[in-house]
Amino acid sequence: MTRQKYTKMLYVDDMLIAMKKMTKFNNLKIQLNKEFDMKNLDPTKKVLDVDIIRDRIKDRLTLSQRNNIKKLLVKFRMENTKLINILLVIYF
């Protein structure tokens, strides 16, 4: 009996890319466009139910699950719990 090797593959319909350098971003878009059908959409405000907050003045991109946490607190009757902010990553 021969054993066959299988490669696990994951198909992703949408991809979200964040880069600081516009030239690198544009080069990547050109490369991806050669392989895939692509279209440009409006700036993303939410992905996988996570809010994306842009502060162009401070050059900062923030991911927030505040609304999801509030829903969970209500569901478990803990809505009066004090919320705190936690910075997970300092540099991207």
Spatial CA neighbour of 16 closest among 54, 58, 45: 45
Domain edges within the chain: 22-76
Residue that is written with structure tokens 């880069």 in the block: 19
Dump pLDDT digits (tens) for 27-61.
888 888 888 887 777 788 888 888 989 888 887 88
Which pLDDT does position 2 carry in this prediction?
A: 53
Task: Centre a 10 Å sphere on the Cβ of residue 52 and count the other Cβ atoms it contains.
Answer: 15
What's the whole-number mean pLDDT along residues 12-31?
A: 77
What is the rounded distance in angstroms from the CA atom of residue 46 to the CA atom of residue 43?
9
For residue 76, is pLDDT > 80? yes
Q: Report yes or no on whether pTM surpasses 0.85.
A: no
Res 74 pLDDT > 80: yes
